[in-house]
Amino acid sequence: MFHVQQTYKIVSSDIVIIPVFQEKELISSEIQKKFSGLESVFCSIKKNEDFEGKYGEVAYYHTAIPKYPRVLFVGMGKREETNNEIFRRIGGIVRKKCVAFKVADASFVLFDTMCKDAAIPLLQGFLLASYAYDRYRNRTKKHTKAFKSLYFITLHAPTQEEKNKIRETLHVIEGVFIARNLVNTPANDLTPQIFAKETQRFKKMKRMKVTVIDEKKLKKLGAGAILGVGQGSKHPPLFVILEYRSKKKNAKTIGLVGKGITFDSGGIHLKPVGHIETMKMDMSGAASVFGLFHILSKEELPVNIVAVMVIAENAIGPSSIRPGDVIKSYDGQTIEVTNTDAEGRLVVADALSYLQDRYKNLDAIVDIATLTGGCIVALGYDITGLLTNSEDLHRQLQAASEKTGEKIWQLPLDKDLLKTVKGEFTDLQNFTRNVKAMAIMGGAFLHAFIKNNIKWAHLDIAGTAWAETNQEYKSRGATGCPVRLMWEFLKVYR
């Protein structure tokens, strides 16, 4: 990550970025006073009829002043219509312009009367848009000029709180990038064993504990659901338990579960062309937990966390689990595997049971899983599905969602649909024909593993963990969703 600093002194930089609302007169006094010598540029932008300050519009000028040789005006749209998400997107747009103009440093002008609270979302968008996955580029490296420094120019000297927020934002986005890198890594270079090895870095961090439960131990524990899913792969399944102990006395403990299928072939219910190609992303839930722990290694939280990353490969082969096979989950329920491609709910179920069995003091559990294609049909690629038994958790996650722009929408844990996962001759089955509410059925299956009404929320990120198109601050591939949302959620959890 590059250097980010808020300052009231003008620093020399390759480009000065000046946000302009559609009510153009707002560029006037303060900025003009501060940037002496730019009178002619301000005069031109006011006269420029092609630039109205509409959202995303840009106008670019060269100047004769060495300290700020280039000026970019960026349209913010109507002032009353702006919000944090607009700022985030503008940040992304500006970042892409910086690449196009090959600049190494930029000064973003933020005057108190213009957009006081915009710095953080602008920074988030700018940083998020800086991501590129180039691990495998050898001969085709993109020769983009390295970006070095971003300055926010404000009228006042930065307060400690503002500095803290910038530092935190950098750490959060690092966490997002780590999640994105893991998700983008192909399954041949991210087997369950490699994943477990990567988590060892948390061993040397303060207040953290890492435990790997390998296949042998899973057998001892009787975690038959994850074992069944993983049995077809030559890379055996495992749990990684990450624990964080807060400094805060009497802090509550939250349980997290991340689905980590390193590749989902569908198993014997093999996925068809068009659906299988991106299935290295089926470990996005576990990757987001990993990203969260990275942030935690740099920033403190007022809650304790116990996270189970449940890692396996859903492979097809002679020892794969068969449709119709019956397995026994960690908590002793029998499950007929009616569809080998509905493997996510099986592995997550065992992790949920393990958490509740081993940690009796959990205040709430949130699982994060790329669980169903049906969630994409219901909510598309920009909205995470939420299923929960707790109105509290719904409210708290919704608040975090509004802060971060990572949208969520609640789907009902309808009583009749809860019944659909009952087995014909077993306790449960993992898929029932003719039930079309796929995302809800997935949630209903997980619900069958929630004991004593503990507060639980399930985030179905099948659509949101992966972007099919380039957007302002998302690029095709892994999005790192919902790291930012979960961080906001945990930060205020009491």
Binding site for ligand BES (CB under 6 A): 264, 282, 339, 341-344, 370-374, 431, 438, 462
| Tokens describing residue 220 | 């001892």
Kindly tell me which of 336 and 343 has the beta carbon lying closer to ligand BES.
343
Of 215, 282, 367, 488, the one binding Zn ion (CB under 5 A) is: 282
137 vs 99: CA distance, rounded Å: 18
Q: Which residues contact 303 (CB under 8 A, 6 or more apart)?
A: 246, 248, 251, 252, 253, 254, 490, 493, 494
Catalytic residue selected from 165, 201, 207, 271? 271
E strand spans, 250-322 = 253-264, 304-314
Catalytic residue selected from 88, 95, 259, 345? 345
Nearest approach, Cβ of residue 282 and Zn ion (Å): 4
347 vs 350: CA distance, rounded Å: 5
Whether the CB-CB separation of 349 and 447 falls below 8 Å is answered with no
> What 3-state DSSP class applies to 145?
coil
317 vs 133: CA distance, rounded Å: 31
In the annotation, is 245 catalytic?
A: no
Reported as type and span, the H/E element at residue 75 is: strand 70-77
* Residue 264 touches Zn ion, criterion: CB under 5 A: yes
Nearest approach, Cβ of residue 20 and ligand BES (Å): 40
404 vs 482: CA distance, rounded Å: 9
264 vs 247: CA distance, rounded Å: 39
Nearest approach, Cβ of residue 326 and ligand BES (Å): 18
| Tokens describing residue 100 | 């196009």
Q: Is the peptide bond before 236 cis (omega within 30 degrees of 0)?
A: no
Whether the CB-CB separation of 383 and 405 falls below 8 Å is answered with no
* Residue 341 touches Zn ion, criterion: CB under 5 A: yes
In the annotation, is 271 catalytic?
A: yes
Kindly tell me which of 1 and 270 has the beta carbon lying closer to ligand BES.
270
Kindly tell me which of 9 and 433 has the beta carbon lying closer to ligand BES.
433
> What residue 339 binds from ligand BES, Zn ion, none (CB within 5 to 8 A, per partner kind)?
ligand BES
Q: Using alpha carbons, list the distances in angstroms from residue 165 to 155, 170, 263, 304, 492.
A: 18, 9, 37, 22, 15
Side by side, the strands of the sheet bearing 304-314 are 208-213, 238-244, 304-314, 253-264, 362-369, 455-460, 383-388, 407-410
Nearest approach, Cβ of residue 438 and Zn ion (Å): 11
Nearest approach, Cβ of residue 314 and Zn ion (Å): 6
> What residue 462 binds from ligand BES, Zn ion, none (CB within 5 to 8 A, per partner kind)?
ligand BES
Whether the CB-CB separation of 314 and 294 falls below 8 Å is answered with no
Q: Using alpha carbons, list the distances in angstroms from residue 326 to 225, 323, 448.
A: 10, 9, 17
Nearest approach, Cβ of residue 430 and Zn ion (Å): 10
* Residue 460 touches Zn ion, criterion: CB under 5 A: no
> What residue 174 binds from Zn ion, ligand BES, none (CB within 5 to 8 A, per partner kind)?
none
> What residue 329 binds from ligand BES, Zn ion, none (CB within 5 to 8 A, per partner kind)?
none
> What residue 374 binds from Zn ion, ligand BES, none (CB within 5 to 8 A, per partner kind)?
ligand BES
> What residue 158 binds from Zn ion, ligand BES, none (CB within 5 to 8 A, per partner kind)?
none
> What residue 431 binds from ligand BES, Zn ion, none (CB within 5 to 8 A, per partner kind)?
ligand BES
Nearest approach, Cβ of residue 261 and Zn ion (Å): 5
* Residue 367 touches Zn ion, criterion: CB under 5 A: no
Task: Please count the CA atoms within 13 angstroms of the CA of 259 that sit on its side-chain side.
Answer: 33
Q: Which residues are catalytic?
A: 271, 345
- The footprint of Zn ion (CB under 5 A) covers 261, 264, 282, 341, 343-344
